[in-house]
């Protein structure tokens, strides 16, 4: 059954000449028990939509059914009844300052009229425990941090086991870790109690919890593809500074190895969530941006171990070839391919092991094709497999010519491996989009 069903839902603010349309013909069909994330720029109408669905505002135009009730033209009484089945979490958490956490949660239980007085306390305590606040049961809001207060507010709305939970930016005042915990609590609620959850957020780190993403733009619902592109914009914003090749290169070149690693960690975490949220999507601008970033990352690997040059081969299983993606002087649009098991990169794919070679031209496996193509003279090589989360090798990074003319060392290999899992996630999200 649909928990939310809207047909040409529109909304206006103001009267007479000041009347302004805010929502335009919104069609939604949200099944029970889904987690829906509502995204969109500031002012696009997210909160307005949420307050209409939550019966906090009267429906003016179009049909809106929530939990089986038609909201268009319904009475205040019906709206009030409906609200009793809905939990609300707003950024300003509306806790009552004079009473403790547990009393705030008890209030949430009491308004439902579903619990006996003697059961209220036990139930409130157990809910607070479930959001990790067992140590803070008797504290008043002012004695709690912003994130803890937010969790009390969440506990209060979860306590009543609402059929639906509407949350407007619930993680806005939380750090990364507690924000994550909060949405995971909600996810559990949806799974265990079949609660339908609508979550407005700007936080693209939590997109992966969604069963679907609804994207609003100027009061209009956008298609999934449009929303992916818009999320790409967010992603690009995130990678700002990694956007222009010139700047990027200097900035990344100047990072210490540790700074480089944590930068990759940040980006790869985002990439992973993005990948999970949009695994079937494809967008050229996004790919181009990642390609530029990868160029800088790969070159940084070379710099870390003082190799002269770096290149990256992507495994293309369909055409059984390795595609050269990143190397200095590579004409941007040229697609250079070698057979999948040829050359040193091919040996890495075949054996799954890194390869260290002191003198390429003395090694039978070496394929001089790429050298010839670029007029380069390879001597030492360090070639390392890059695995996806499933463990399959999908790329090989090759570092060429150690600065001192000697062979690369185990220590060089360790240094590169140290950042490679992050790089792999970023790469994987890139190639995932490429499919």
For ligand ATP, the closer of residues 48 and 249 by Cβ is 48
Should residue 47 be labelled a site residue for Mg ion when binding is judged by CB under 5 A? yes
The encoded tokens of residue 59 equal 């429906």
Q: Which of 5, 6, 36, 44 binds ligand ATP (CB under 6 A)?
A: 44
Least gap, CB of 36 to ligand ATP (angstroms): 15
For ligand ATP, the closer of residues 234 and 265 by Cβ is 234
Stretch that binds Mg ion, among 47-55, 284-292, 344-352, 390-398 (CB under 5 A): 47-55
For ligand ATP, the closer of residues 40 and 108 by Cβ is 40
Q: What are the phi and psi torsion angles at 370 (to 5°)?
A: -70, -40
For Mg ion, the closer of residues 39 and 232 by Cβ is 39
Least gap, CB of 151 to ligand ATP (angstroms): 21
Task: State whether residue 348 is helix, strand or coil.
Answer: helix
Query: Residue 45 binds which entry of ligand ATP, Mg ion, none, with Cβ cut-offs from 5 to 8 Å by kind?
Result: ligand ATP
Q: Which of 12, 43, 226, 368 binds ligand ATP (CB under 6 A)?
A: 43
Q: What are the phi and psi torsion angles at 312 (to 5°)?
A: -135, 125
Cα–Cα distance measured from residue 96 to residue 149, given in angstroms and rounded to the nearest whole number: 11
For ligand ATP, the closer of residues 74 and 172 by Cβ is 172
Handedness of CA 303, 305, 306, 310 (dihedral sign): negative
For ligand ATP, the closer of residues 218 and 371 by Cβ is 218
Contact yes or no for 347/326 (Cβ under 8 A): no
Contact yes or no for 290/430 (Cβ under 8 A): yes
Binding residues for ligand ATP, rule CB under 6 A, total 11
Should residue 47 be labelled a site residue for ligand ATP when binding is judged by CB under 6 A? yes
218 exposed, middle or buried (CB, 10 Å; 0-12, 13-18, 19+)? middle
Q: Which of 6, 33, 45, 408 binds ligand ATP (CB under 6 A)?
A: 45
The encoded tokens of residue 149 equal 């207060």
Q: Which of 33, 35, 40, 179 binds ligand ATP (CB under 6 A)?
A: 40
Should residue 48 be labelled a site residue for ligand ATP when binding is judged by CB under 6 A? yes
Cα–Cα distance measured from residue 234 to residue 321, given in angstroms and rounded to the nearest whole number: 33
Should residue 171 be labelled a site residue for ligand ATP when binding is judged by CB under 6 A? no
The footprint of ligand ATP on residues 4-23 (CB under 6 A) is: 13-14, 22
For ligand ATP, the closer of residues 44 and 227 by Cβ is 44
Query: Residue 42 binds which entry of Mg ion, ligand ATP, none, with Cβ cut-offs from 5 to 8 Å by kind?
Result: ligand ATP
Should residue 42 be labelled a site residue for ligand ATP when binding is judged by CB under 6 A? yes
**Helices 410-434 & 284-304, crossing angle to 10 degrees?**
180
Long-range Cβ pairs for the range 384-387 (8 Å, 24+): 384/348, 384/354, 384/413, 384/416, 384/417, 384/420, 385/348, 385/349, 385/352, 385/353, 385/354, 386/420, 386/423, 386/424, 386/427, 387/424
Least gap, CB of 160 to ligand ATP (angstroms): 25
Least gap, CB of 61 to Mg ion (angstroms): 21
For ligand ATP, the closer of residues 48 and 225 by Cβ is 48
Cα–Cα distance measured from residue 432 to residue 185, given in angstroms and rounded to the nearest whole number: 29
Give me Rg for the CA atoms of the chain: 27
Q: What residues form DSSP beta bridges with 397?
A: 312, 384
Should residue 380 be labelled a site residue for Mg ion when binding is judged by CB under 5 A? no
Residues whose CB is less than 8 angstroms from the CB of residue 160 and which lie 6 or more positions away in sequence, other chains included? 87, 108, 109, 111, 112, 114
Should residue 46 be labelled a site residue for ligand ATP when binding is judged by CB under 6 A? yes
Which residue ranges make up the site for ligand ATP (CB under 6 A)?
13-14, 22, 40, 42-48
Q: Name the residues that contact Mg ion, by CB under 5 A.
A: 47
């Amino acid at each position: 059954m649909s928990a939310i069903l809207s047909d040409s839902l529109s909304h206006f603010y103001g009267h007479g000449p000041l009347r302004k349309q805010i929502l335009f013909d919104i069609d939604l069909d949200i099944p029970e028990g889904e987690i829906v994330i509502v995204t969109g720029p500031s002012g696009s109408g997210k909160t307005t939509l949420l307050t209409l669905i939550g019966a906090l505002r009267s429906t003016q135009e179009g049909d809106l059914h929530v939990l089986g009730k038609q909201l268009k033209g319904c009475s205040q009484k019906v709206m009030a009844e409906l609200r009793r089945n809905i939990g609300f979490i707003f950024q300003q958490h509306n806790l009552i300052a004079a009473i403790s956490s547990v009393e705030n949660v008890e209030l949430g239980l009491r308004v439902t009229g579903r619990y006996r007085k003697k059961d209220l306390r036990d139930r409130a305590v157990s809910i607070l425990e479930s959001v990790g606040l067992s140590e803070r049961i008797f504290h008043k809001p002012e004695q709690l941090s912003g994130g803890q207060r937010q969790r009390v507010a969440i506990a209060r709305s979860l306590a009543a086991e609402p059929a639906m939970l509407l949350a407007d930016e619930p993680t806005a005042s939380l750090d990364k870790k507690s924000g994550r915990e909060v949405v995971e609590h909600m996810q559990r609620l949806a799974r265990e109690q079949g609660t339908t959850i609508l979550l407005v957020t700007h936080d693209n780190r939590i997109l992966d919890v969604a069963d679907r993403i609804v994207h609003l733009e100027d009061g209009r619902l956008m298609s999934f593809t449009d929303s992916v592109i818009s999320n790409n914009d967010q992603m690009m914003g995130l990678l700002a500074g990694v956007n222009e090749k010139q700047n990027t290169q200097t900035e990344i070149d100047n990072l210490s190895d540790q700074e480089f690693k944590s930068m990759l960690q940040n980006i790869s975490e985002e990439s992973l969530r993005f990948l999970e949220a949009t695994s079937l999507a494809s967008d050229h601008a996004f790919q181009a941006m990642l390609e530029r970033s990868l160029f800088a990352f790969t070159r940084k690997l070379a710099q870390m171990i003082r190799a002269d040059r770096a290149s990256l081969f992507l495994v293309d299983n369909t055409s059984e070839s390795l595609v050269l993606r990143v190397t200095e002087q590579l004409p941007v649009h040229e697609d250079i391919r070698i057979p999948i098991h040829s050359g040193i990169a091919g040996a890495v794919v075949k054996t799954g092991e890194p390869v260290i070679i002191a003198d390429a031209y003395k090694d039978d496996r070496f394929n001089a094709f790429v050298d010839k193509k670029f007029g380069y003279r390879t001597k030492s090589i360090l070639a390392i497999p890059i695995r996806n989360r499933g463990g399959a090798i999908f790329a090989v990074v090759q570092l060429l010519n150690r600065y001192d003319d000697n062979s690369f060392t185990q220590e060089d290999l360790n240094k590169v491996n140290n950042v490679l899992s992050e790089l792999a996630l970023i790469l994987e999200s890139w190639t995932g989009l490429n499919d």
